[in-house]
Chain A
Amino acid sequence: MEGLGYLGAGLGAGLAVIGAGLGIGNIAASAAEGTARQPEATSDIRTTMIIAAALIEGVALFGEVICVLLALK
């Protein structure tokens, strides 16, 4: 049964990364598009992008920490 914990941790880590990857990918795509349309707003867009990416990353990292705890238990 102990093996299942590791399986859960591994699957959970992967799923968290999928979500975060999709989210940050969306942000980056929109930011690139926005910058291409309006190059003078580059620095504002970059700031907004980093904040949003950091928030998404934070949520993903919560998931990863839970997976690490599961694997180390």
Chain B
Amino acid sequence: MRVKANPKILALLVPFLLSLNTLACAVPVQDAVPAHEAAPAMVAPAATSPADVHEATVPEGETTVAGEQAASGEHEEKAGDVIMHHVKDSNVLAFEPFGEIELPHLQLGSLDISITKHVVMIWIASVVLLLVGAAAGASIKKLSAKQAPSGLGNVIEALVDFIRNDVAKSNIGHGYEKHLPYLITVFFFILTCNLLGLIPYGATATGNINVTLTLATFTFLVTQAAAFKELGVGGYVKHLTAGTHWSLWIIMIPIEIIGQFTKPFALTIRLFANMTAGHIIILSLIFISFILKSYVVAAAVSVPFAIFIYLLELFVAFLQAFVFTMLSALFIGLATAHDDHDGHELEASGHH
């Protein structure tokens, strides 16, 4: 089967990612940087020479976040701090033995729109997706009717076909084509972000709750828009009553309204927690050998288990991208289902 959605993916990708990036970073300054961490963060870019950095960080010896690089020679850092440093977003792209790149701090009014590690990873992911999508689209377009796709085009087609048939068609049913570009985009974007976190010097942008919240917000907006479009205002309100008797409406309507918001919330937490937890586990396993200061533990426990969890993470990267897409499709399907009184799910899975 030919993939028709490729130009659409590309067309959708750019505005989607741009808005994503803006939303992900538009966190009020006060929230993004707790007060006790703000001081060294302001000091660090101003102090240019190593001696200045050293002097500036000595009085605030407790705040390890900014002082970590400068003070690494002085004392041992706690394992927990190092793990959090790796998982958290920061303004530094670290290439550890070779040095690091300081990213610019930007501010728009009261909003901190600095380019951070995760923003860079989002940009890399979008560039990778644009290149891969264009290459795959071109390789499929070149084929004549009798040729089977091969190489990159084949891989991408298999995934796109899977999303179309097993995710979109079976969960949304009638009119799934409209939502296909969004679902495919979100799948490949999450997958790329997840995988970028597993390569050396990479960071997991999807391990940042701002990014996952933005993605979930998109699903929420798409779901609501689709429901209004499909059912109309009257049908939408009727949907909120879940087809129950009028005496139950006082309970059902608030529950259904809350239900609309729990869905994106669950999507947010699921992706964020899965991606963060995997990285914390890998780092914890590595740190076991540092805490016990033993080569035997490193060889027998840390390395094999870390590799095992890494491979599991590789699976989880695909699984979570799939689950996010699948649940997005399911929510769209549930919201647009024309049900009169009984089960949402029957209706949603009934169309094939």
Contact = CB atoms under 8 A, between A and B. Distances in A.
Nearest to A53: B323
B270 A58 contact: yes
Interface string A47-59: 1101100110110
Interface string A31-64: 0000000000001100110110011011001101
A11 interface: no
Contacts of A15: none
Contacts of A50: 322-323, 326
Contacts of B273: 61, 64-65
Given A43-B166, A65-B269, A51 B274 contact: no
A52 to B, nearest CB: 11
B34 to A, nearest CB: 12
Contact of A54 (B84, B166, B270, B277): B270
Given A61-B273, A64-B273, A64-B277, A47 B170 contact: yes
Contacts, number: 34
A61 B269 contact: yes
- 5 pairs of A and B residues whose beta carbons are closest in the complex: A61-B273, A58-B266, A54-B323, A58-B270, A61-B269
Contacts of A44: 349
Contact of A51 (B166, B269, B277, B327): B327
B330 interface: yes
26 contacts: A43-B166, A47-B166, A47-B170, A47-B326, A47-B349, A50-B322, A50-B323, A50-B326, A51-B326, A51-B327, A51-B330, A54-B270, A54-B326, A54-B327, A57-B274, A58-B266, A58-B269, A58-B270, A61-B269, A61-B270, A61-B273, A61-B274, A62-B266, A62-B269, A65-B269, A72-B84
A71 to B, nearest CB: 9
